[in-house]
Copies of this chain bind each other. A is one copy, B any other.
Amino acid sequence: MKGQLRNKRTVTSYDVARLAGVSQSAVSRVFSPDASVSDAMTRRVREAADQLGYRPNRLAQAMITGRSRIVALVVAHFENQFFSEAFERLALELQARNYHVLTFMAADVAGKTDQVIEELLDYRVEGLITASVGLSNELTRAINDADIPIVMFNRSQDHPDLSGVSSDNVTGGRAVADYLLQSGCRRIAHIAGWHGASTQRDREAGFLAGLAAAGHTLFAREVGDFHHDQAESATRRMFATATRPDAVFVANDHMAFAVMDVLRHDLGLRVPEDVSVIGYDDVPMARWKSYNLTTVRQPVRRMVSATVDLLLDRIAAPDAEAQRLVFEGQVVERGTVRRPD
Interface residues of A (CB under 8 A from B): 2-3, 5-6, 8, 10, 53, 55-60, 62-63, 68, 70, 77-79, 81, 84-85, 87-88, 91-92, 95, 100-105, 116, 118-119, 121-124, 142, 145-147, 228, 257-258, 260-262, 264-266, 284, 288-291, 318-319
Contact = CB atoms under 8 A, between A and B. Distances in A.
B78 A68 contact: no
A142 B54 CA distance: 12
Contacts of A118: 55
Main SS of chain A's interface residues? helix
16 contacts: A3-B319, A55-B121, A55-B122, A59-B62, A59-B68, A78-B85, A79-B284, A84-B84, A91-B105, A92-B105, A95-B104, A100-B102, A100-B104, A100-B123, A101-B103, A102-B102
A124 B57 contact: yes
A318 B8 CA distance: 11
Which among A2, A62, A84 has the highest number of chain B CB atoms within 10 Å? A84
A81 B84 CA distance: 9
A58 to B, nearest CB: 5
A72 to B, nearest CB: 9
Contacts of A70: 102, 123
B289 A266 contact: yes
A319 B101 CA distance: 29
Nearest to A73: B103
A99 B200 CA distance: 33
A87 B85 CA distance: 13
A103 B91 contact: yes
Contacts of A103: 91, 100-101, 103
List the 7 shortest-distance A-B pairs measured between CB atoms, nearest first: A84-B84, A265-B289, A261-B289, A78-B84, A290-B290, A58-B122, A8-B147
B123 A59 contact: yes
Contact of A60 (B63, B85, B318): B63
Contacts of A260: 290
A3 B318 CA distance: 10
Contact of A290 (B68, B84, B257): B257
A145 B8 CA distance: 8
A275 B57 CA distance: 57
Which among A101, A103, A124, A146 has the highest number of chain B CB atoms within 10 Å? A103
A49 B262 CA distance: 54
Contacts of A258: 288
Given A3-B319, A290-B291, 16 more contacts: A8-B147, A55-B121, A58-B122, A59-B62, A59-B124, A77-B88, A81-B84, A95-B104, A95-B105, A95-B116, A100-B104, A100-B119, A103-B103, A261-B288, A261-B289, A264-B290
B95 A88 contact: no
Which among A57, A262, A290 has the highest number of chain B CB atoms within 10 Å? A290
A318 B122 contact: no
Nearest to A61: B122
Contact of A122 (B6, B57, B87, B116): B57
Contacts of A261: 288-290
A260 to B, nearest CB: 7
A6 B314 CA distance: 13
